[in-house]
Amino acid sequence: MPLPHAFVPDFYKGNYADLARLSDEDALEHYRAEGIASGHFASPAAERGYLLSFARAEGSILEIGPFHAPSLVGDNVRYMDVLTSEELIEAVKQAGHDTSNVPKIHYVAPKGGFDMVDRTFSAVFSGHCIEHQPDLVRHFQGVSSILDDDGRYYIACPDRRYCFDHYIPETAVVDILAAYHQKRKFHQPRSFIAQRLHRAHNDPDRHWSGDHGVQPYEGYKNPEREIFEGLPSEDTYHDTHAWQFTPSSFFQIMTFLREVGLTDFVVERVYHTRSGTQEFTAVLRKGQHVIDKNEAFIEPMPLRDYVVLLKNRKSHSESELTNLRSENSRSEIEIVNLKKAQSNAETEISRLRSELNKVYSSRSWTMTRLLRTVASHLGMSRT
């Protein structure tokens, strides 16, 4: 089924009363210039639940990392995790969550990889999973290996700006390539050090309001010990965020990986993060597909372009104001002239009425001759 575009004009305008009268072109300009940064809701599929309605319609689905609350349920759904069902229940208990919805884990991958998966699926979904992969390229290659031709990989991913990764810089593609070259199976110390230095709070509303809190290192009494002591070794998997994305950086990285032949996924959609939330949604499509970029992703307007746009609007507005003032001045002159003409016309009408009254009241033979002639003709016409 065709997915909603990354920007749906009627949907966007319908969500914001002050934008309702904009043309589709102006609405898109507004979204690029202001709406994306404000977290405006521009496509229904930017919401995870709506996007997954498309995944539910697929013939068969694998959900990766369901934890205590799988996003997809049904006879056509299978689950994959690094823990067994029993281990997952114990982990959920320790995290203080209800275990009643923990699903049966069909495929256990303690070291990552998809070798144990014995079939293919129409679709795969992962929520807050890709940022945990030590080797992101091989993760995508593994997902592709268990997807049918033309299959889709549905993704919900944290936006680093609105979660505890806020202070950690965006992932560079060179780091992803280095992990692939090293065939990395475990997280490097850098990932853990980044969390010890820069981990922020995890309240998206606060982040959206500009309150990011302080970084941990600012409160360290013994920085060296608190940064380096007890770092996990590189020969065992310890869970953490290895990668930090925004919708824009994710789109650019996936486009690059496709161009250099490291993945057979094409970016079908990337939807921007909504205000008050901390995740964006995306869909990758396996195979040779030509996707219209205007449908797949909306690039935010660069700040410098926005400044130029505002200057142009100001200049245009000033020019329009000058034209309106000139038009108003011409209108005022025309009004004055019309009033003069009206006054002259009223004076002339008054004069003519006076003259006519003189004719009607005159007893002069000469003055009344015309009236007598008319009367005579009227009398003849009656005979």
Residue type, 71: S
- In this structure, how many other beta carbons lie within 10 angstroms of the beta carbon of residue 88? 23
At 131-172, the pLDDT tens digits run: 999 999 999 999 999 999 999 999 999 999 999 999 999 999
- In the chain, count of helices (H) and strands (E)? 14, 7
In this prediction, residue 310 carries a pLDDT of 67
- Pairing of β 121-127 and β 107-108: unpaired
Residues β-bridged to residue 245: 159
- In this structure, how many other beta carbons lie within 10 angstroms of the beta carbon of residue 112? 18
Q: What is the pTM of this model?
A: 0.80
3-state SS, residue 155: strand
At 282-295, the pLDDT tens digits run: 999 999 888 899 99
Lowest mean pLDDT among 107-111, 217-221, 244-248, 303-307: 303-307
101 pLDDT band (50/70/90 cuts)?
Answer: very high
Distance between CA atoms of 175 and 237, rounded to whole angstroms? Answer: 19
180 pLDDT band (50/70/90 cuts)?
Answer: very high
Number of residues in the chain: 383
Lowest mean pLDDT among 153-162, 203-212, 252-261, 354-363: 354-363
